[in-house]
Amino acid sequence: MADLRLLLLSNSTNAGEPYLGYSIGEIGRFLGSDDLAPLFIPYAAEMVSYDDYEAIAAGPFASVGQTLTSVHHAADPVVAVAAARAIVIGGGNSFRLLRQLQQQRILGPIGDVVRRGAPYVGWSAGSNVACPTIRTTNDMPIVEPAGFAALAFVPIQINPHYVSNVIPGHAGETRDGRIAEFLHANPDQVVIGLREGTMLRVEGARATIVGARPARVFRHDSAPVEIEPGSDLYQIVRSAPRG
């Protein structure tokens, strides 16, 4: 089994920027100079067609020399995934994405090809499915997948689009409160809040925070810890005291 190579983005686009604008340089460096013809998985899309989603994502990838092609064109998605040299999963609704991966029978094949060494890029929902489950998504469950288990490329749960601010006058749950509920029910889990404009780059045993903003790590019965860009998340999680 090869070392995993993952680039997990909190979001696709920062306000006022083009699609994948903040991240495409890092994506290009991650994928390298050879055109790997990445296979795009558009199944998280709900309000846009797969053709349109492919076109939206293909432009930025072409700017770094990568020819993106969507799996929805394939006569057999399982065969297409097995032949892929790189996998890219876009954002949208995590529940819809996972259900489609299950129905198209490609959840396992994606896991196989990435564990054999194919690089994986995901944003938002595409980062959620890289976790053991999608239970730390922010999305509404608009469809019902056959269980929440996902690809388990990382041993932690990601909360994309993480925000720590409290809305003035809003008496409902904060994001920290929702994560605390998850950890109360799942005390052995670790959650990383990825703020917008940040990424997690995983190469083998190292998981590096990339971007201009820190990430926040949550554990049950522990105060959240801010992790600065450039830090190795895995090493910090391993060494952090519990309680």
The residues annotated with a catalytic role in the active site are: 124, 139, 161
Query: What is the DSSP-derived secondary structure letter of residue 24?
Result: H
Tallying the residues shown for the chain, one arrives at: 243
Q: By C-alpha distance, which of 41, 125, 51 is closest to 89?
A: 41
Collapsed DSSP state (helix, strand, coil) of residue 90? coil
Indicate the residue type of 48.
V
Q: Give the tokens for residue 238.
A: 């391993």
Distance (Å, whole) CA 69 – CA 93: 20
- DSSP code per residue over 156-209: SEEETT------TT--S--HHHHHHHHHHHSTT-EEEE--TTEEEEEETTEEEE
